[in-house]
Amino acid sequence: MSAGARAARGAPKASGAAGAQASKPPYDVQRQRADFPILSTKVHGKPLVYLDNAATTQKPRQVIDAVRRYYEAQNANVHRGVHLLSEQATSAYEGARAKVARFVGAGQAEEIVFTRGATEAINLAANAFGAGRLGKGDEVLVSEMEHHSNIVPWQLVAQRAGAKLKVIPVTDDGELDLGGLERLIGPRTRMVAIGHVSNALGTVNPVKHIVKAAHAKSVPVLVDGAQAVPHAKVDVRGIGADFYAASGHKMYGPTGIGFLYGKREHLEAMPPWQGGGDMIRSVSFEGTTYNDVPFKFEAGTPHIEGGIGLGAAVDYLTGIGMDNIAAHEHEILAYATEQVEALDGIRIIGTARHKAAVLSFTVEGVHPHDVGSLLDRDGIAIRTGHHCAQPLMERYGVPATNRASFGLYNTRDEVDALVAGLGRIGELFR
């Protein structure tokens, strides 16, 4: 087995994972695939091979049915109605919040703020929490592998305050260079914002270690968990994060919904970020009294069906077992890494020891966009581009990469289809 494949196989779970789950039935990928209607689709007359899960995951019938049930039988606004439909919708929506809290190990449901996704969650934390901590000359520590969503919000609040970003570098194999972490977290560091799993490399970062180092200097930490939550059991209290952000659409739920976990003491102290209905207790022209957490951060009519669908996605993942999902995906990643590495003219970008289900690579002499277009003709969906990680692409001296990212329903046969497609592309451009 190649070094890259051994590295892919060597990471059974994301950092901060909780203890082993209750025993689950043996993993049956074909049974899981049957839950996803879109996987029977044909693209250009070929069976769909969907390998773009880091961008968004497909939705199981259980999630689709939950959203449909809401519209067919429960459609009403939440929190403010006394009629039956409103009470039913509120119960389903708030029940979903409780499910998310249990799923990520939050201490209480009130520590989960529903947002449009991880991007809005990070913006909320940056503006309602981070901005108040920053002054001229202060620093926010991020890493070189961050998604733009965990760079730009901090740049915006830092620019307004006269602060700046400080960057943890990335090694050639795609790991954070944490040598001298205590020095990087300096006397002017006011916030650390770090990705749990890199969307462009698949690297699983040692977030628990980073949080501990930051807390030793009284610096709070936000963890971007958008790419971690779908792949392994996450325990936010075990990690110790002050904030943890994730997106529903990357964890088999609807688009337009996500969440921010925040420690209760932080959420209580933070001012609202947006104003409107439901985030208030009372309003007058002289002043406003704000609602309790988490509602003071959820202005306006929420994405009700999205929250309910997210709750159904949590049920679905819990039913399979995150340990089972992690083991299956790492087996697929190890196989894919070994097979793709064996092809001529392939350069794999990101060979960290601990990886989640992402394989990024370049094909010698072929632009990634051409690779993606040619694979699409065979029904194979991958992502090409900079993956909202332009500083990282610059670090590796490439404008873009090809990214195959795996989910709970992907198979070895689909990896074989990808490898065969890449082989044909190599012959075409040789």
Buried b (16+ CB within 10 A) or exposed e, 125-135: bbbbbbbeebe
How far is residue 76's CA from residue 315's CA, in Å, rounded to a whole number? 23
Backbone angles phi, psi at 287, to 5 degrees: 170, 170
Hunting for tokens 């082993």 — which residue is that?
A: 20
Q: Can you read off the two tokens belonging to residue 285?
A: 């022209």
Known catalytic residue at 27: no
User: Any idea which residue has 């590495």 for tokens?
Assistant: 341
Give, as one character, the DSSP assignment of residue 73.
I
Reference 121, options 10, 225, 4; nearest CA is 225
Residue with tokens 């309003």: 283
Residue 62's closest CA among 406, 324, 309? 309
Tracing tokens 């689909």 back to the chain, one arrives at 414
Please pick, among 388, 390, 391, 411, the residue that the annotation labels catalytic.
388
Whole-angstrom distance, CA of residue 216 vs CA of residue 224: 20
Q: Are 402 and 385 in contact (CB under 8 A)?
A: no
Residue 37 DSSP one-character state = G
DSSP string computed for 359-399: EEEEETTB-HHHHHHHHHHTTEE-EEE-TT-HHHHHHHT-S
Say how far apart CA 196 and CA 222 lie, in whole Å: 10
Helix (H, G, I), strand (E, B) or coil at 39: helix
DSSP-assigned beta bridge partners for residue 260: 113, 245
Close Cβ partners of 179 (under 8 Å, ≥ 6 residues apart): none
Residue type, 261: Y
Number of neighbours of residue 40 by Cβ within 10 angstroms: 10
Please work out, in degrees rounded to the nearest 5, the angle formed at the alpha carbon of residue 270 by the alpha carbons of 230 and 310: 25
> What SS3 class is residue 190?
strand
- Round to whole Å and give the CA distance between 322 and 225: 15
What are the backbone dihedrals phi and psi of residue 385, each rounded to the nearest 5 degrees, phi first? 135, -160
- CA distance linking residue 172 with residue 25, whole number of Å: 39
The residues annotated with a catalytic role in the active site are 388
